[in-house]
C-alpha cells in the first residue's frame, strides 16, 4: 500500500504493508539509523520519534497510523537550534554514556520542553520516565534538560 507522511520536513511516499512497525520503516526503509530498538515493547524509549511535535514509541506505531503526519527523527532534529542547546547541555552535564538511549532522550527532552518550557525537576523525571538509561543514573540527564530549558528560554 502507498503510504505518505512527512519525515524531517520532506514528504515521503513508500509502498509497504501498513501494519508494519513505524520503527522498521524508519530504520530499514528510510535508513535513519539514529532511532534505536531497545525493547520493541514501548518500555525503553530508545525508538521514540516526534509525531506532530510529540514523542511517540515508533516500535508500537503501525505505519497505517503514520499517514499524513509530520515526523522528526534525530537526523532531522540535529539541524535545529533547539538540538544545539540540548546537545550542549547533555555534553556539559555528562548526559550520555554508551549513547544507545541518547537520540531517544534528546527527542523526549525536546517533546517535553516544547510543551512545558519551564519544567521542574519532578516534571522532567515524570515526563521522561518512558526513556530508560542503564548507564548514567539519570541525574546528569535531568540536569542537562533543566539546563537546556533555561538556556533555550524563549526558544521552546
Q: How far apart are the first and last CA of the chain?
A: 37
C-alpha cell belonging to residue 1: 500500500
User: 3-state SS string over 27-42?
Assistant: HHHCCCCCCCCCCCCC
CA–CA gap between residue 17 and residue 62 (Å, rounded): 9
Q: Give the number of other Cβ atoms within 10 Å of residue 19's Cβ.
A: 9
> Is the separation of the CB atoms in 108 and 39 below 8 Å?
no
Q: How far is the CB of 4 from other proteins (least distance, A)?
A: 12
Binders of other proteins among residues 19 to 58 (CB under 8 A) are 19-21, 24, 28, 32-46, 48, 51, 54-57
Count of residues engaged in binding other proteins, rule: CB under 8 A: 77
- The verdict on 140 binding other proteins (CB under 8 A) reads yes
- The verdict on 18 binding other proteins (CB under 8 A) reads yes
- The verdict on 151 binding other proteins (CB under 8 A) reads no
DSSP labels, 80-110:
SHHHHHHHHHHHHHT--SS-SSHHHHHHHHH
Q: How far is the CB of 125 from other proteins (least distance, A)?
A: 4
Pattern 67-106, binding to other proteins, x per CB under 8 A?
Answer: xx----xxx--x--------x--xx-xx-xxxxxxxx--x
- The verdict on 134 binding other proteins (CB under 8 A) reads yes
> Is the separation of the CB atoms in 104 and 36 below 8 Å?
yes
Q: How far is the CB of 121 from other proteins (least distance, A)?
A: 8
- The verdict on 8 binding other proteins (CB under 8 A) reads no
Q: How far is the CB of 42 from other proteins (least distance, A)?
A: 6
Q: How far is the CB of 129 from other proteins (least distance, A)?
A: 3
Q: Of the two residues 28 and 153, which places its CB atom closer to other proteins in the complex?
A: 28
C-alpha cell belonging to residue 90: 547533555
Amino acid at each position: 500500500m502507498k503510504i505518505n507522511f512527512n519525515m524531517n520536513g520532506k514528504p515521503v511516499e513508500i509502498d509497504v504493508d501498513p501494519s508494519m512497525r513505524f520503527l522498521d520503516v524508519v530504520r530499514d526503509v528510510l535508513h535513519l539509523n539514529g532511532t534505536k530498538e531497545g525493547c520493541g515493547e514501548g518500555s525503553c524509549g530508545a525508538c521514540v520519534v516526534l509525531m506532530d511535535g510529540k514523542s511517540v514509541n515508533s516500535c508500537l506505531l503501525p505505519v497505517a497510523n503514520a499517514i499524513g503526519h509530520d515526523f522528526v527523527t534525530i537526523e532531522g532534529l540535529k539541524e535545529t537550534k533547539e538540538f544545539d542547546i540540548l546537545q550542549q547541555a547533555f555534553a556539559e552535564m555528562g548526559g550520555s554514556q554508551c549513547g544507545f538511549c541518547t537520540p531517544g532522550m534528546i527527542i523526549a527532552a525536546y517533546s517535553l520542553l516544547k510543551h512545558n518550557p519551564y519544567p521542574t525537576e519532578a516534571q522532567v523525571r515524570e515526563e521522561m520516565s518512558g526513556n530508560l538509561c542503564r548507564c548514567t543514573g539519570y541525574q546528569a540527564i535531568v540536569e542537562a534538560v533543566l539546563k537546556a530549558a533555561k538556556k533555550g528560554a524563549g526558544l521552546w
